[in-house]
Amino acid sequence: MRSFEPADAPAVHRWFSNPAATRSLMEQRDGFSLEQAEGWARRAMDDSGEDRKFAIVVEGYEQPVGFTALYGLFRQTAPELGALIGDDVRGKGVGRRAEALTIARAFDEYGAHRVYGRIPARNEIAKKTVASLGWVYEGTLRGHLRGEHGAPDDDCEVWGVLPDEFRAAAADLFQ
């Protein structure tokens, strides 16, 4: 995990242009240009506000393979975790490890008292991943995600984790 750099824009463009990677996101885009990716990468480098984004680097890959994010740090409310694995490392534990490192940073570096996430109900992989990190299902926002291009609306589930729950479940990753 590292901070974003201007040279990461082509990787960002690749991730957000990959339907297999983006189909499980909260919001869908009809397109994502290289210019948009350059702007996204510039904003990801900005650490002056409440959001932090981290590039996921994997040995043997020249460019980052995805990112994690903490949205809404330094508030009375808990930060939200976001993640996207945009390359062929999906399903190989990279996302779980990256999310765990990001959650640990939320608790240890930023002093978060909990972390939460909103997950489309259809995203079984994301739910399995967060459950393996100690997260607890907390409720459903019915019909929260508008269906795009004739698709039915989708529910959104809210999951959350407290520091002790996370540390107990993710201990194997930090040995």
pLDDT digit string, tens, across residues 111-125: 999 999 999 998 898
Q: Which CATH number is associated with domain 6-174?
A: 3.40.630.30
* Spans of all domains in the chain: 6-174
Residues listed for the chain: 175
% of the chain exceeding 90 in pLDDT = 69
Phi-psi sector, 4: left (phi>0), alpha (psi -120 to 50), beta: beta
pLDDT tens digit sequence for 25-53: 666 667 788 898 899 999 999 999 999 99
Span of 65-69, 143-147, 169-173 with lowest mean pLDDT? 143-147
Beta bridge mates, 3 = none
Instruction: Give me 170's structure tokens.
Output: 């993710």
What per-residue confidence (pLDDT) applies to 91?
76
Higher pLDDT, 29 or 10: 10
What per-residue confidence (pLDDT) applies to 28?
63
> Sorting pLDDT into bands at 50, 70 and 90, what band is 88?
confident
